[in-house]
Structure 1
Amino acid sequence: MAQTPTTFEVDGTAICTRRMNAGMDVQQLADQVGITDSYLRKLERGDRTRMTPGPYQALRAALNADENELLRAPHPNPPERK
């Protein structure tokens, strides 16, 4: 059984693009999701990249986004550890 992650690493550019395409300003989306407009701006700028499951699910629902659409793409080749 798959376990829900404790946080989701989000793509701020994808969030901003979806928000603008939906015709919402930052305050409208933040209110709908239940987060502050300051936090949403930080997510969109990439200053913050992690969200807990509840707000992330609310963000996905508000933007009508699929399961992975707002997540950061994994790094294709992580740096090797020495």
Structure 2
Amino acid sequence: MAPTPTTFLVDGTAICTKRMNAGMEVQQLADTVGITANYLRKVERGDRTRMRPGTYVRLRAALKANKTELLAPTETPPERK
């Protein structure tokens, strides 16, 4: 079993889109997750890109998101031919 990462690299745009589609205001989601609205705004803008595991799990639960849809896309190295 893989160890839990110390932080998750999150996609602020995906978080913002999911929040808006859920009809939630920034303050409402921040209160639900247990973070400040200022922190959530910074995440959505991309000023903050990392999130601790507990916060990420609570955010996913509040937005009813799967394990990966709020994560930043990772670059995969090009295949060698």
- Shorter-chain TM range is over 0.9
> RMSD in angstroms over aligned alpha carbons?
1.1
TM-score of the two chains, using structure 2 as the length reference: 0.93
Alignment partner of 1:35: what SS? coil
Alignment partner of 2:68: what SS? coil
TM-score of the two chains, using structure 1 as the length reference: 0.91
Moved beyond 4 Å, runs of 4+: none
How many pairs align?
78
Residue 77 (structure 1) shift: 3.9
Q: Deviations over 1:7-58 (max 9, x none)?
A: 0000000000000000000000000000000000000000000000000000
Q: What does residue range 23-38 of structure 1 map to in structure 2 within 5 Å?
A: 23-38=23-38
Gaps of 5+ in 2: none
Letter in 2 for 1:72: A
Aligned to 2:39: 39
Aligned to 2:49: 49
Aligned to 1:2: 2
**Could you tell me the percent identity over the aligned residues?**
72
Residue 75 (structure 1) shift: 1.9
Residue 2 (structure 1) shift: 1.1
